[in-house]
Amino acid sequence: MTATVPAGSSPTAEQGRLAHNALGLPSVLFCIVTGAAPLTAMLFNVPVAVNGGGWSAPAAFGIATIALTIFSVGYIAMARRVTSAGGFYTFISRGLGRVIGVGSGVLIGICYMIFTAAVLGVMSYFAATTVEAWTGLALPAWVYIVIGLAVMSLLAWFHIELTAKVLGVALIAEVLALLVLAVAVFAHGGAEGFSPSPFNPAQVFDNAGALQVFGSTAAGIALFAAFWSWVGFEMAPNYAEESREPHRIARIATYGSVIGLGVFYMIVSYAFVTGWGLLGSVQAVSDQLNGVYASAFYPLSDRFAGPWLTVIIELLAVTSSFACAMAFYNTSARYLFALGREGVLPGVLARTSRHRSPGVAAMTVTTVVALYCLAFVLYDPSTEAALVKLGTWSPLLGVLGILAVQALVCVAIIRYFLTTARDGFGWWTTLLAPVLGFLAMAGACYLLVENRAALAAAEGVPFIGVLPWVPLVIFVVGVVIALYLRARRPAVYAGLGHFSLADPELDDQTGKEVTP
């Protein structure tokens, strides 16, 4: 098994290689599932889903689970063939060509950095408001941004296994807290007993509770809130170079995160609507939107478990969002590392620290995220208001770019197995599943664009108005870079998207893949 290196490049011990065999399956799971931030996803996305589809939020999460599991079928088939920190960039380059691949790589790298900044804003807001509520100390919220970004940068400089352990502790704590809440609600029978109605997919589209409380239903908002909750699950291939058994781990980690999170989200969202009662859950979200509660989850934990659990959840809201931001930070650094290693971006980005982490790429992410956050602080002199905007507007931009690239990945998988890897072609795994995955991702993009003003609670704001065009502009910039390299640096262009430390071995006689 040999490494393919771009022409004109000769990675040394300090350039082009990440730490080998550093991560086992649990560590990879910690790195990718924390990107989904289960506690933060539930605190924010369950109310959004209820706002759109009433008490049928669990059904919305069920629909998303099925769609993303289908997407994962072809995604894993591709991951078995291509092992690189480039992830989506490498996959699209192999399937749709270098030009589209570079456009996608630049877009996804920037989107993950935007997500890092957005979730850092969420963490800073929770930290500032919680510290003030508990101690009366009112520090400027930007102080928490600086602290959070400094800790992330420090962790990113060291060995990836250290980061995985930190993320693992945060993940276990937040999952346990939500499970305690769910068990407490179920043990007491909720507010009105148990009903199967929340799992009925038809009620996502015409929910009586949403009609009664909000006057209308918005299935698009409910389904988008569900899809939004999984952002980060696709990170497994980005850690392949640092995994002990990349092909096996990518498969288990991807399916495990998609299906595991799906079951978990359905349980927690069902506990929410059961704890409040069907119509009561819709009214509780309406009250939250009107400022009665900071979160409609807090009265539930007070009632069914006790104030001690509410305090824990408030604290974990800070650590969960930090862990989420850290996961996106790590993936951003690996995209910059991969693009630098192949010559798309300056080669210095491929330099690693003495701990074999993508040190220069990580510090670049720190700089970009800091400047992005600063722009929001300057835009709104009220610091906490700036953080609210940072945490609610920016995710829409990041998610739109990620979903669009995932749709392209589906097309790339189909073409790759129809041309380059015909021996691995399967009607379900590499054709029908990617087609269905493409339709799901394209549909989610449409829902986001169509409902962006409601999702951001920002009607008529220029940022929201131009949002659909920003990912397209970033993609075009990447395409222009690729075309420049093709015209002026053909040797570098020839290697784009084709750096892989562990491509599958092929049998000399049959030409088929030898299972590692």
Does 11 map to a domain?
A: no
Does 7 map to a domain?
A: no
3-class SS of residue 470: helix
Per-residue pLDDT in tens (0 to 9) along the chain, 516 residues: 333 344 344 344 344 454 554 555 566 666 666 666 788 889 888 998 998 899 999 999 999 999 999 998 998 888 877 765 557 888 899 999 999 999 998 998 899 899 899 889 888 888 887 888 788 887 877 788 899 999 888 887 765 555 666 667 777 888 899 999 999 999 999 999 999 999 999 999 888 888 888 887 788 888 888 888 887 676 655 555 555 665 567 677 788 888 988 999 999 999 999 999 999 999 999 998 887 887 899 999 999 999 999 999 988 888 888 888 887 888 888 888 888 888 888 989 888 777 677 878 999 999 999 999 988 888 886 767 778 888 888 888 988 998 899 999 999 999 999 998 888 899 999 999 999 999 988 988 888 888 888 877 777 888 899 999 999 999 999 999 999 999 999 988 988 876 655 444 434 343 344 443
Residue showing tokens 């807001």: 125
Does 437 map to a domain?
A: yes
Residue 233 region, left (φ>0) first, then alpha (ψ -120 to 50), else beta?
Answer: alpha
> Given this model, what pLDDT does residue 209 score?
87
Residue 306 region, left (φ>0) first, then alpha (ψ -120 to 50), else beta?
Answer: left
> Given this model, what pLDDT does residue 69 score?
92
Does 4 map to a domain?
A: no
Q: Which residues contact 484 (CB under 8 A, 6 or more apart)?
A: none
> Given this model, what pLDDT does residue 75 score?
86
419, exposed or middle or buried, with CB in 10 Å at 0-12, 13-18, 19+? exposed
Q: pLDDT of 474-492, one tens digit each?
A: 999 999 999 999 999 998 8
Q: Cα–Cα distance between 470 and 281 in angstroms, integer?
A: 36
Tokens of 261: 């999170």
Does 381 map to a domain?
A: yes
Nearest to 35 by CA among 329, 402, 324: 324
Element of type H or E holding 513: strand 513-514
Q: pLDDT of 185-239, one tens digit each?
A: 999 999 999 999 999 999 998 888 888 888 877 888 888 888 888 876 766 555 5
Nearest to 226 by CA among 447, 398, 458: 447
429 DSSP 8-state letter: I
How many other C-beta atoms are found inside a 10 Å radius of the C-beta of residue 514? 11
3-class SS of residue 3: coil
Write out the residue range of the structural domain in which residue 253 sits. 25-514
Distances 436 to 73, 212, 400 between C-alpha atoms, Å:
10, 34, 18
Does 323 map to a domain?
A: yes
3-state SS string for 9-48: CCCCCCECCCCCCCECHHHHHHHHHHHHCHHHHHHHHHHH
Does 98 map to a domain?
A: yes
Say how many domains are in the chain. Answer: 1
Tokens of 430: 């590499």
User: In this structure, what CATH number is given to the domain that contains residue 277?
Assistant: 1.20.1740.10
Q: Which residues contact 411 (CB under 8 A, 6 or more apart)?
A: 95, 96, 434, 438
Does 3 map to a domain?
A: no
Nearest to 415 by CA among 391, 402, 434: 434
What residues does 243 pair with on adjacent strands? Answer: 23
Tokens of 12: 């040394």
> Given this model, what pLDDT does residue 516 score?
38
252, exposed or middle or buried, with CB in 10 Å at 0-12, 13-18, 19+? middle
